[in-house]
A and B are shown apart, each in its own frame.
Chain A
Amino acid sequence: MEFAELIRTGQAQAELLRGPEEPPLRGTLCITGHHLMLSPGPQATPDLWLLLLRNVDSIEKRVAGDSGTITLRCKDLRVLQLDIEGVEATLDIARSIEALSSLESVITSFPFFYRPKGLRLGDAWHFHPPECYYKRVARETNAWRLSEANEDFSLCPSYPRAVIVPRAVDDSALARSARFRQGGRFPVLSYYHAPSGTVLLRAGQPLTGPQKRRCSEDEDLLRAVLAGARPGARGVIVDTRSPQAAKQARMTGGGTEAKAAYPGWKRLHRPLETGRPLQESFVRLVEACGDLEQSMDRWLNRLESCRWLSHVKETLSTACLAAQSMEQEGACVLVHGAEGTDSTLLITSLAQLILDPLSRTMAGFQELIEREWIQAGHPFQLRCAHSAFSHARPKHEAPTFLLFLDCVWQLGRQFPLSLEFGEGMLLALFDHAYASPFGTFLCNNEKERCLCEVRTRTHSLWSGLSQPKEQRKLRNPLYVPNPLAIWPSAEPQSLRLWQGLFLRGTRPPEPSEVAWEKVWQIVTDQEKTEGSQPTDSASEAGP
C-alpha cells in the first residue's frame, strides 16, 4: 500500500499550540506516512516537532476566513491545536491525518520502519522469555515443569509457546484441559511465591455449559497443583465476575468450577468491570478532567459518577485478597474471569507487585509486563485501538492496562520508596501501549506476533527504555530495596486521582518536574559524597 495516496498535501504554514504555558510553535507543517512534522523556520531552534499519527485519537477541523484550525486529541490524552494558513490546506491536512491515523494494518505500522541509531534489531527481545522465569521457579521447587505443548499455538492461540505447568500433568492432559477452558487457556503458573511455597495460577473460565460438564484432566491439574505445594494445602479460586454473571455464563457455554468437582478449592467472587463499562468510565473521567469551566460540585459529581476510582479500589483490594491468601494463609490461588485476558491479568500482575520484591525493580517490572501482559495474551491491539477521545463506536477497546498502571501508581504513592521505577515509567508505558515506535505492544498475542515477525522486524520498547538518557525520567531516585510484601490501603480515603496522567493536558507540568529534578539532585549529591570518601588504605600500606 502506498501512503502517498493518502497524503493530500505536502505541506502548509501553521502555528501549533501544545497546551497550557507552552509557547506556540510556528513553522512548516508536513505529513509523512507515519508522522506529522512541524519544522520551525531557519531562524528558530532547529528542533523538529514530531507527532506519531497513530497517536491521534480524534480530529476536529474548523475553517474561518482564509485559515483553519485543527484540534488533535491524542491517545496519550494531550490536546494539540494547529492553526493553518489556507482553507484548502487545512481540509487536506485534516483528511490526510484522518486516513493515516486510522490504518489498521500491523505490518505497515511505524515500528516496522523505525530504525533508531544505537539500537540493533532483536537486541532485547529474548530478554524475558518464559524459559527465563521457569529457571527462577525451578531453583525453588521441583513440582513444576516447562511444557512446550503449545509450540505451534494449537492448544491456545493466546498463550506463548512455552508455559509452566505441574510436573505431574502430561501434555495430553493439558490438551484436554485446554479444550475445557475458554480460548484454550488452561491453568498455568503465573507466579511462585517461594516463602510460602504457594503458587498463583491463571486460566480462562471452564466451559461447563448448562449441563454442568466436567473435565477430569482439568480437575487432575488443579489437584496436582495442591499436591505440589504441600500436603493439605488449600486453594482459592478468585472469579472476577459476580456469582450471577458466572451463572449466566453457563447459558453461553461458560461457567465456573463446581465445588464438588474440585475438592480443596474454595471459590470467591470479586466482580471487576471490564470491556465497555470500563472504557466508558475512562472516557467520562477524561471528559471531566478536560473541563476547566465547571463548578466544584459538578466536578466532584462527575468524578464520582464516572466510577474510575471505584474500579481502582476494587482492583487493588482483589489483588490484595489474592496476595493475602497466598502469603498469610498458604493457599494456592487460581484467578480467572471469562476469557482470562483482562481482569485476570490485572489481578495476577498486581498480586506479584505486592508480594515479589524483584518485580518492583526496573528490570523486574519490565519482565512482569512482558510475562503477565504481553506474552500472557492481553489483546493490546484491540484494547488500545482507541483512547478516550475517539468518536468511533467502541468495539473491543478497554483501558485494562491503564487501570493496571493506575493501581501501580497508587502503590507507588503509598510506598514511595519501594518501587525502583517512577511515575515517568508508568506514563511511558501508557503512551507506548497506545501508540509507539516500538513493536512491544503490537498485536494481540504471541501467535500474531510470530506471524507478523514483530520480533525480528521491530525494536523492543525495553531496549528503548534502557537508553541512559531516559533513566532520570523513569527511575525513582528514592528507591530502597524492600524485601517484604507491601500491603497497600484500598480504602477510598487512600486513593487519589492520578493527576500526572489525567491532568497532563490541562496542567502545566513544570512545578512537578522541578520538584522531581530537586529530588534527584538531593539524592545524587549524597551518592557523590559517598563516592568521594578517601580511603585510609594508602596510609596503612605506608612504611
Chain B
Amino acid sequence: MEHIRTPKVENVRLVDRISSKKAALGTLYLTATHVIFVETAPDTRKETWGHVHLICLLTLNTDDLDIIRERQRNSQRLKYEELYCFSFNPKLDREEREQGWMLVNLSEEYKRMGLPNDYWQLSDVNREYRVCDSYPTELYVPKSATAHIIVGSSKFRSRRRFPALSYYCKDNHASICRSSQPLSGFSARCLEDEQMLQAIRKANPGSDFLYVVDTRPKLNAMANRAAGKGYENEDNYSNIKFQFIGIENIHVMRNSLQKMLEVVDENIENVSVLGFFPEIVLIEKDWISFGHKFTHRYGNLDGDPREISPVIDQFLECVWQLMEQFPCAFEFNERFLIHIQHHIYSCQFGNFLCNSQKERQELKIQERTYSLWAHLWKNRVDYLNPLFRADHSQTRGVLHLPTAPCNFMYKYVNLWDLTGCGYALDSGTVYHMEAEGFWNGMYNRFEKGLQPRQSVTDYLVAVKEETQQLEEELEALEERLEKIQKVQLNRTKVRSKQSEPSKHSGFSTSDNSSANTPQDYSGNVKSFPSRSPSQGDEDSALILTQDNLKSSDPDLSANSDQESGVEDLSCRSPSGGECVPSEDSGKDRDSDEAVFLTA
C-alpha cells in the first residue's frame, strides 16, 4: 500500500481503440492489485477492472503523472510475496486447496506413458535437487544410465540440465529427451555424456540412431562455442544424427512449429530425439485430457519470467494452430488457452511462479497460493470443445498436419494500418506483436470491434446443454405420463399441473444488438485519439483490460470473457425473446457525419 500515492483520479476517459463510440468518462481507482475504472454516467456506473500486472501502458488525459509512476512501481514488484496470488483468496478451505494442487500429478502422467518399464526407470539422482536445481526431483532416465554417468553428464551441460526423459511413446518405444547445450567449447569432450546418449539410444531397441535436435540456428550454436558451450560433435558420439532447426524467436515461430512437427514425425518412426528447450519440444500431442496436459510443463517451467513468457505464448499459439486445423481433436477450446495465457501473467495463481520446482518448494507455493488447474477444472464446462470426438481417428493418433506456410492462419495487415498490439508483461516491458499477430481471439481479444461477433462454440455448447435438458425433461414427462395413465385407470380424476418445457426463444435476437454497432467505414482515419506524447515512440496502447468483473470476484470468470463474443447464452432464458432495440440507432453520429464530410 505504501506505493500508492493517489488512490483515485477523476475525469479519466476510457478509450476504445476500434469502435467509434465516444470515450467513457469516469473515475480511476488504484488498489494494490487492481486498477478500477468506474464510468460516471449515472445510469450505468459500469466498472472496468484491470490487473496491475497486465497493464503496460496507461494513457491518462489528466496532468496527474504521479499515478503513472505509481503504477510502474506497482507492476514491478521485487518480491514474490508481494504478488497478487499471495493475497488472492477464492474462499476455499485448506482441503480444497490441496486437492487443487493434487489435480495434476506428474507420476500419474508417467504411468500413462507406460513407465517405468524395461528400458526406463525412475531416478532419485536429483533428490533434494542435488544434481540440477531447475529439474524436478522425479525424473526418468534409461536403465543403463548409472548415477555416475548422470552426474558426469550433468557437469558437461549448461546449468547441469542433463538429458532426461520428456515423452515416451509406448507403441514403438520411441522417446523424446531434453537437455541443455553441452559445454563442449571447441574441442572438449565428456565420456559420461557420450555414454548417456548411448544409453538413451539403446533404450529404444527399434532404432539404430539418435536424433539430436538443436533448436537454435546453427550460427548461434557456433557462436556459443566461443563461450565454452556449443553442440555435440558427431564424431565423438556414435550413431547420432545432428540437426539444427533454427527456432529464433516468436516472429518466426510458425517455422518452429513446422520443424517441430517434422521432428515429431520422425520420432514416431522409431527414433529418439534430444532437444534443448524442453518447453518447445513439448509442443506435442499432450491434449488427451483436461488437467493432464500441463504435467510436463508444470515440472519444467524454468527461466526468468521475462525469458520464458514468449515461449509459453509460442506453445499456446502452436496448440491453437493445431486446433484450427483439427477442430475435433481437442477436448478444450480457444478460451481455455486464452485463460491459461492470461493467468501466466496475472500472477493470481501460484502455478507459474518461480523458476523451478525447487524454488517453488522453498516458497511453499502450494501452501500459500491456489492452483489454476483447480480453478479451470471447476469451470471446465466453459472450456469444453463441443466438437471434440473422443472416438475419432483424428483424436486417436498423431496429428499429421500439413506445414506449408499457407496452412497457418493469418490475418492480413496493410502497412498503413499497423495498429500493432501492445502486449503486457508483468515486468512492465512492452512486448510487440507486429504485422502478423494473427491469432485474433488472443491478440486482439480486447478489441471487441474485431472479433467475430457471434461465438459458434458457445452456441453449440448451449445447444448441447439444451438437448440434455430436454432429454431429462422428456424422461420426467414420460414418467409422469405413465403415472397419470395409471391414475386414470383407477378412474380417479386428476388434474395435472402443466409444467411447460422451457421454450427456447430465438437464440440471438436480443444479443445481436451488441453485435450490431456499425463502425466507422467512411475512411481509413483511425478514430483512436492521440497517444500520450510522453510515450511517443512506444507504439502501443493497451488501456485497461477486463471489463465488467464484479468487485467481489476479481478472477477472470468465464462470463466476463464472453463479453468479447456475443453472449449467446444470456438470451436463452425461458423468458427471453423480446428483442432489445438495437442501440445503434441514432448513436453513431460521428461516423454519419464523416460520411458526408468526405464527399
Contact = CB atoms under 8 A, between A and B. Distances in A.
Indicate, yes or no, whether A interacts with B: yes
A413 B452 contact: yes
Given A321-B521, A482-B508, A506-B402, A489 B450 contact: yes
Contacts of B341: none
Interface stretch (A62-70, A178-186, A248-256, A533-541): A533-541
Nearest to A529: B470
30 contacts: A236-B599, A293-B404, A309-B412, A321-B521, A321-B595, A329-B595, A329-B596, A414-B452, A414-B453, A480-B506, A484-B512, A485-B516, A485-B518, A486-B516, A489-B451, A492-B414, A495-B412, A496-B409, A503-B407, A506-B407, A519-B387, A519-B460, A522-B460, A523-B463, A526-B463, A529-B470, A534-B477, A536-B477, A539-B488, A543-B491
B538 to A, nearest CB: 20
B454 A416 contact: yes
Interface in A275-320: 288-289, 291-296, 298-300, 303-304, 309-310, 313, 317-318, 320
Interface stretch (A142-150, A212-220, A464-472, A510-518): A510-518
Nearest to A298: B405
A183 B447 CA distance: 45
B518 A506 contact: no
Nearest to A410: B452
B344 interface: no
B411 interface: yes
A482 B512 contact: yes
Given A416-B454, A482-B508, A522-B460, A492 B412 contact: yes
B222 interface: no
A325 interface: yes
Contact of A415 (B452, B496, B501): B452
Given A299-B405, A512-B327, A522-B460, 8 more contacts: A236-B599, A323-B518, A484-B512, A487-B515, A499-B407, A506-B407, A533-B501, A539-B496
B485 interface: yes
A236 B410 contact: no
Interface in A10-34: 20
A534 B478 contact: yes
B172 interface: no
Interface of B: 18, 252, 254-255, 325-329, 386-387, 389, 392, 394, 402, 404-407, 409-414, 417, 419, 435-437, 440, 444, 447, 449-456, 459-460, 463-464, 466-467, 470-471, 473-474, 477-478, 481, 484-485, 488, 491, 493-494, 496, 498, 501, 506-509, 512-513, 515-519, 521-522, 568, 579, 582, 584-585, 588, 591-592, 595-596, 598-599
Nearest to B444: A493
A23 to B, nearest CB: 15
Given A324-B595, A533-B470, A495 B411 contact: yes
B567 to A, nearest CB: 13
Contacts, number: 241
Contacts of A310: 412, 414
Nearest to B257: A296
B254 A489 contact: no
A292 B402 CA distance: 9
Nearest to B471: A529
Top 7 closest A-B pairs, CB basis? A299-B405, A515-B327, A292-B404, A487-B518, A309-B412, A266-B599, A320-B521
Given A288-B406, A519-B460, A522-B464, A497 B412 contact: yes
A533 B496 CA distance: 17
Contacts of A304: 412
Interface of A: 20, 236, 266-268, 288-289, 291-296, 298-300, 303-304, 309-310, 313, 317-318, 320-321, 323-325, 327-329, 413-418, 478, 480-487, 489-497, 499, 502-503, 506-508, 511-512, 514-515, 518-519, 522-523, 525-526, 529-530, 532-534, 536, 538-540, 542-543
Contact of B519 (A300, A489, A506): A489
Nearest to B581: A484
A507 B452 contact: no
A321 B519 CA distance: 9
A396 B278 CA distance: 56
Contacts of B599: 236, 266-268
Given A296-B252, A328-B592, A487-B519, A417 B579 contact: no
Contacts of A478: 456, 459-460
Nearest to B464: A522
Interface centre among A268, A481, A490, A519 (most CB of B within 10 A): A519
B335 to A, nearest CB: 16
Contacts of A296: 252, 254-255, 405
Interface centre among B18, B518, B579 (most CB of A within 10 A): B518
A480 B414 CA distance: 34
A507 B402 contact: yes
Contacts of B473: 533
B493 A533 contact: no
B52 to A, nearest CB: 27
A182 to B, nearest CB: 23
